[in-house]
Structure formats: C-alpha cells, structure tokens
Amino acid sequence: MNIRQPCPPGACDCQREQLLEAPGTDQRILQLTRQEEKKLLDRLEDLKSLQDLEHMQQLMYQQLGIRVHVAPGHTEVKSMRGIQIIIDDLPGLCRKTRQSIPAAIRRGMEKRPEIAYRLLDAHDLFREG
C-alpha cells in the first residue's frame, strides 16, 4: 500500500508520525498520496451537481475518513466565499490538503453556480417565510 510521504519538518501539523506509531488507529487518510490528492482536487473542481458533491463527501469519508461539511455561512451569502466548508480535525490530514479541499469545492461551485443555488435552497434560504 502506498502511503503519503511525510511533509518537510516544521511545515505541517498533520501528526503523521504519531498516527503511524499508534496501534489500532484509522490510517486511511495516509492513502491520500500527493498523486491521489491531485485526482481528488481535480474531481472536486469538476462537480456536476449538489448530489455529486454529496456523493464525493460520502466517498471522502468512507475511503479516507475525511468529514467535510458544506453549508451556507451564518452571514449573508453573496459569493462562494459565503459558503462555509469545514473539515473535521483528522490526524494525518496535511495542512495544505485541509486548505486545498475547500478551495477545490469552491472552484467547482464557481464553475457551476447552480450547485450553490441548490445548496442554499436545501437550507431553506430561498423560501419566503
């Protein structure tokens, strides 16, 4: 099994070594090599629909243990920046990857704004009260 190479010393807070040393830990995240990460980011940038995004969220959790939450922010949503994308803390998840996944999802939504509209609609933001 290929596992992710370590980050340069002092460049990351991923706790990769502690994860490898601890017996019985969930090490699926280490399967996200840099090459696999690039494939994942490309795929997230090419989202087709809200269902596709939800499917990708499910796959990331099942295969890697990455839990990604995507929802409208608490303030007024005027752009993709108003969409809140949060990744749960996960030992072994590189700091750069933790930043790259939300950025790729935002780029995917910018390509297909209807995904963001469906997300807002799913959270009742377009319904009149």
Q: What is the pLDDT of residues 59-98, one digit of tens each?
A: 999 999 999 999 887 665 555 667 889 999 999 999 999 9
- In this predicted structure, the answer to whether residue 10 has a pLDDT above a threshold of 70 is yes
Q: Between the ranges 8-22, 43-57, 69-83, where is the mean pLDDT highest?
A: 43-57
Whether residue 62 contacts residue 56, with contact meaning beta carbons closer than 8 Å, is answered with no
Give me the mean pLDDT over the 107-128 stretch: 81
Q: Which residues pair with 69 in a beta bridge?
A: 86
Structural element, H or E, at residue 50:
helix 50-64
Entry pTM = 0.87
Q: How far apart are CA 83 and CA 106, in angstroms?
A: 8
Q: Which of the four pLDDT bands, split at 50, 70 and 90, describes residue 1?
A: low
Q: Which residues pair with 68 in a beta bridge?
A: 87
Any residues with CB less than 8 A from the CB of 25 and at least 6 apart, and which?
Answer: 19, 91
Q: How far apart are CA 19 and CA 55, in angstroms?
A: 27
Residue 26 carries which side chain, given as an amino acid letter? D
The CA-based angle 83-46-1, given to 5 degrees, is 105
DSSP state of 80: G
Which SS3 state, helix, strand or coil, does residue 71 take? Answer: strand
